[in-house]
Amino acid sequence: MKALWEAVQVRQCEAADAGFDWPDVHGVLDKLREEVGELAEAAVLPEGDECRARCLHELGDLLFVLAHLSRRLEADPEVALEQALMRFNARFSEVMRNADQLPPLGDPSRLEVMEARWKAAKRRGL
């Protein structure tokens, strides 16, 4: 995650030191919402090279703003992602417990049942 470290520790600190920074976290959150919107617009383009290129561009912008947010919150993004991965693994294990009782693949209700199991695991603190 060299690029993430550089985004947080080098580029954004350099920009902030030069005065190129939002005055508070609200500006970062506004920018985050803007970038999510731009990625959503790109994701609905017709499939093809233009869609992939634009999505990659917007995803990069979104990740850069998330790196900025982590710096602003004084939160190590690597640690945050590791913890999120651990939560995902625990919750997904619960989703897949007794997988033979899930509706079969292709059944529209399968995702609903899996989502209900996910939410239950989350409520239990996993």
Using CA atoms, how far apart are residues 11 and 9, in angstroms rounded to an integer? 6
Q: Model's pTM, two decimal places?
A: 0.84
Domain ranges of the chain: 1-75, 76-126
pLDDT reported for residue 88: 97
pLDDT, tens digit (0-9, with 9 covering 90-100), for 50-66: 999 999 999 999 999 99
Which amino acid, residue 20?
F
pLDDT reported for residue 11: 84
pLDDT reported for residue 5: 81
Sequence-separated contacts (24+) of 57-61 with Cβ below 8 Å: 61/35
Low-confidence ranges of the chain (pLDDT < 70): none
Is residue 69 within 8 Å of 25, Cβ to Cβ? yes
Mapping DSSP to helix (H, G, I), strand (E, B) and coil, where does residue 37 land? helix
Using CA atoms, how far apart are residues 13 and 5, in angstroms rounded to an integer? 11
pLDDT reported for residue 125: 95
pLDDT reported for residue 41: 95
pLDDT reported for residue 6: 84
CATH 1.10.287.1080, applies to 1-75: yes
Cβ neighbours for 84, distance < 8 A, ≥ 6 positions apart: none
